[in-house]
Structure 1
Amino acid sequence: MENYVNFIDTAWKKFISTGKVNSKVRSEIKDSWIRCMNYGVDPYNGKGNIKHPNVKQLINKNNELISVARPIMESIYSMVRGSGFALFLTDKDGYIIEVIGDKDIMERVAELNFLKGELWSENVVGTNAIGTALYLNKPVQTIAAEHYGINQHSWTCSASPIYDEDDNLIGCINMSGNYYNAHSHTMGIVTAAAQSIQKQMALAISYKLLNITFDSISEGMIVINENMKVKRINGKALKILNISLEQAMNMDINEVLNGVNFQKLLQEKNKSLNNIEWDFSINNDIIKCVINVLPLNKNGKSSGMVITFTEVKIVHKLVNKFVGYKAQYQFKDIITTNREMKNMIAFAKKAAKSDCNILIQGESGTGKELISQSIHNYSDRANGPFVAVNCASIPSELFESELFGYEKGAFTGASKEGHPGKFELADGGTIFLDEIGELPLDIQSKLLRVLDNGKIVRIGGTYEKQLDVRVIGATNRILKKEIIKQNFREDLYYRLSVMEIKTIPLRERKDDIDVLVNDFVQKLNIKSKDKTISVKQLYINELKEYNWSGNIRELKNVVERDYYLSEDEIMNINCLNYDNVVKNIDSEESLEEEIKIVPLDCLEKNAIKDAIKKCNGNLQLASKLLNIGRATLYRKIKKYDIYVSK
């Protein structure tokens, strides 16, 4: 070693004085000396002389690297303690971010400014293991005068770069001591340390990503071991269960999920529970969830389980979204110029902004559901579900299960997972009970209880579930008459009709027929694409003479049929019997004479033949007389094979 130290010292002095390098000097040292001379580094210095402007910020920036590297550095130091060596960690630029060493070596370290925050790159302090290793991007050992700065000639240093999992340079680890203690094993130690740091960094990042994923998933997650002890729980689970981390780590999973046979699941290979509705019992609260239980297997043996779960109400929201439990209409979709209708809409808007139950009464076809959907979308519940139930279509024996749901095994044929009712699906939103006058009396009493306290009990259930649901009822019956007939509970009527809305039949708002017909035809034109049809005012006036017992629904059907039976314009009603068009006719009266019905094709053909005959074969005059276009007349002539004399 002494011979080499003397040789390299002589070679260094010659290079500093002449700029020439002895050919026996290692190429990586020779090249570094030349670079340092070109940098203008002072060979008679070799101390750190540039400090990071914000050492605290530097440490924080590299905190992850430091936290991983320090235990490894301490492990190495425990093996070399008392031997005069110190360990150094730098960032990718060469700034020192951690130092560990004996007291006596640390005094020498301070003399060289070999301290936290100091920059030890090659272009600042000259050839040194840290700076040269970072420059060459490979492990480097420097001994005695191989260092470019004279103040380092009593040192030996071994450094190795550190990379992240993507092979990006992130730092350097270095081991320094007295030059006479130099050994090739030192180089091996730091190289192994760098590799160990890299592996630990990769593990730390993977673990961090797993933690981020664990805590960011939208489901609650609990990991338990084979002894049923909670090992991990994510933030979502704590939020759903409304407990602290300490409570969670100490809870008995068998009590919390009473009824799940965890021991059996552990014993049976590849056995799991999927999408099962189950109750968490926490602090005397019942939290309904949909759970999945998946056993963890290690070397063919069960080592625990992963339980994932979602609140039932969240599942219901997803169900509502995909099955269409959403209100489509808004008040702006109600087409009217009628003053009474506008007053009704203004009242409905006020009712929407309250949280009262609402009763809508009116004839069929007057838009009760349109109004109920508009109320929902105008209210503060607009983002919640809108669940419509046609009470007239539910068999009497199924009313309770449809509205309030049932627990697993509640009756023969019941789903083994249980089933939510329409009220649960409407939680946070609105339930629309259409044809509410058809409810059986026993269901009316249960509905009254729900309206009173906002709670439901499933069939077979043992506890009440609090809901936040607004009820809108609708009926074409006169409920006060039904109360007299004892078909409807009076107390339920008054509980429902806090806000009562009466729809207006079309016969009382005939001034709306103009705008309604034009709107229907405009939408049909957009839908058909291949033709555009206009509406004659005579046609609208004729519609106004009809009683419209089916209201807007009937009007829409009539207009749609006339649209498809017309070519260019809708001029005549094609689908109403003559007796229905007579002004102010009473639907209960009958005509004294029976009107003979003639097929429309025959009427049209005869009308065209008569017009051509009257106009002496002049088709232009005939088309004007028939009030149709000439092109249409030609098509009809061809269709009916009508002879036209030349």
Structure 2
Amino acid sequence: MGKVHHATAPSGDPAFREYIQKGVERGIESRIVDSWKRCSQAGLSPFVRNAPAPIENHIFKQRIEQNLEIVELFQFYMRRFSGMLEQLGACSFVCDIDGYILSRVGYGKALNFFDNVSLLEGSNCSEEFLGTNAPGLALVTREPVMVTADEHYAKICHPAFCAASPILDQNRDILGCVDITKFFDHHISEELRNHLLNLAISLSDMIRNEVFLGRLARSYPVHYPGRASLQGGPNGPGSGDSPERKPRLSFARIVGSAPPLAKAVQTAKTYGRKEGNILILGETGTGKELFAQAIHDEGRRAGGPFVTVNCAAIPLELAESELFGYERGAFTGARTEGHPGKFEMAHQGTIFLDEINSMPLPIQAKILRVVETKRVTRINGKREIPVDVRIIAASNRVLADEVAAGTFRKDLFYRLNVLPLRVPALREMKEDIPALLDAFFHSCTEAHGVCPKRISTEAHRRLVAYDWPGNVRELKNCAEYLCFTVEGDEVAEHHLPPEIHPGKADGAPGPSAAPEEPKNLGSLERMFLIETMRRFHGNAVEAAKTLGISRSTLYRKLKKYGITP
């Protein structure tokens, strides 16, 4: 592939020296100035249009095939973010390691400007072709970068703000780059610039994690009893687009016989034979989703889909399209045939709205309309679509208190609270801790081939005395932590995590503790995630902050490794 012809601008040119000097005087950062110098040495002039011609179609197809994984992942995630880009007047694209644009979506006017400067799919955005720009610079520095207005080398690009983040593999080798561009806003705020940069970083991180974990899954497939090997990617079981693939659960899978739990199970079984909406209340980590799916799987709708919506994990600006879907033309980059929302996907089945209390009031109003009319209207849609769906909602807060505080609609509360169900906290059923631990140890042994474990008398006493603020989820994470860190078959008191064994220094193993060596990088990352979730009692928000990743990225990692979030 030959380079396009550029008008030369040698670094000795007085006009170019003045251009550089003015940039330095304006305080342009050194890596931008260094990029300008590289552009000059490559023969580019900032004063003329450097329009890279797209590569031939058959070569473009070859590049798509070579980078199909990142293209598909980019398109998958942009189905969630394209509506937001449309509202912001921005667009986004992904390019390969050489700077060739492979796919782009977003605001129509911004894409038209891309067309005008010949930045089409198949065009090259690298420094040597286009001059200083965010994706071109990110490919050179291997770091996220923003380039604003006249920081661009070529004057034709001065109307643009660009934020880009490279996609790096586990060895920090470049796989490609994600760019977000906004035009015609010379006074773009610092806050919006940072948000767009963070979005670019999140997109590149999500793509990188999917690629990385997908490779690990192919190298080290994880087998679960009664379940096929988990495969990653946008079409895998964690995507939410194929709810019927989830394994059937029943009340027999709920471990324990303590009176509060037995009462909840009996009530839930009764609800399974009825059709009213259900509101499940319980602290974080008590297993509300397990109850919801068991109600579905042993009820009249067992043959239909069970669709889970983690309301707290959906970005607010995407909640409407996620729940109610969109029609063709709703925004640039939308699927040509439109896309159904979660309510449509749950037709003739059950939709589980977890952490419903986190939904903003405007979305609550739209949910109320669906509850009352049994119909949904997609974004940009002109017709109402009937849906036959049972709603099970859950909250880790007392919704009556939220209603009193004005953060939850009273009318929606009454429509959801037809059949109330309370799931007890683990501290109310401590007699079930041994049975739960045995179940978790057995599952961990089957899934990962670790040595079977049993609890010593002293360790059992400590476990029962602990208050378990993270409930069954925390107990499960603790069990997995012990499976991976205790080499022998008996868990002694000194093996327990420091918050359960107060006399143990944080992170200091007992005299006979010998952590099992992780078998591969996947095992190491899984252990680290388990330990982090255990430390924060299953609180995904705090865990994500500590890990320095977005909450959605954390949820995908947890799903990949089969860790209950």
Larger of the two Rg values belongs to structure: 1
Q: Which has the higher contact order (CA 8 A, sep 6+)?
A: 2
Counting strand residues as a fraction of each chain, which structure ranks higher? 1
State the TM-score, normalizing by the size of structure 1. 0.40
State the TM-score, normalizing by the size of structure 2. 0.46
